[in-house]
Amino acid sequence: MPAGQAQYGVQNFNGDRLRVRNGTIKDFASGGILHFAGYGVFENLRILSNGQGLAVGTHAQVRNNTVANNTGGINCAPCVVEQNIITGNGFGFAGGLHVGEGAVVLGNVIVGNQGVGLWSIAGASASSGYGNNILLGNNAGGAQAGGNLIQLHPNACEPACP
């Protein structure tokens, strides 16, 4: 990476209520979007070929994005993740989609990621819900989803969803 080139496409540690929409974030070594404050909205984006694709903090809304060919896909907690295409991501912090306690994951296409497609790290007394997702070809054909997940509505998984 040339000297002075940004490590992240968008980076925010301090301010809540960040909104990023309608654009392409590509080829950043450390990550496309890093927002560890709360209440972010990330929509209609193409997040391509970065380190971590999208890592966001509490109460984020992640919708209608394509997150592809990053070292890691999407990492958020708690968050709403809906109508995204998550594909071709590596073994980074979130191979496909990595969510925490209280997340809701609806209507996503999660295919061809090197790690597990959807993983929830929610604690034993709390879980994340998922429904209407397509998960296949992740994790070299192994488990497509795991952790503390509750099916809110059927998902299409190959092999079967837990």
pLDDT tens, position by position, 15-71: 788 999 999 999 999 999 999 888 999 999 999 999 999 999 889 999 999 999 999
Average pLDDT over residues 61-88: 96
C-alpha neighbours within 13 Å on the C-beta side of residue 27:
3
Can you tell me the distance from the alpha carbon of 130 to that of 151, in angstroms, rounded to the nearest whole number?
Answer: 5
* CA dihedral over 109, 107, 130, 85, signed as positive or negative: positive
Residue 118 has pLDDT above 90, yes or no: yes
Instruction: Decide if 87 contacts 107 (C-beta within 8 A).
Output: no
Residue 4 has pLDDT above 90, yes or no: no
Q: Is the pTM of this model over 0.85?
A: yes
Helix (H, G, I), strand (E, B) or coil at 140: helix
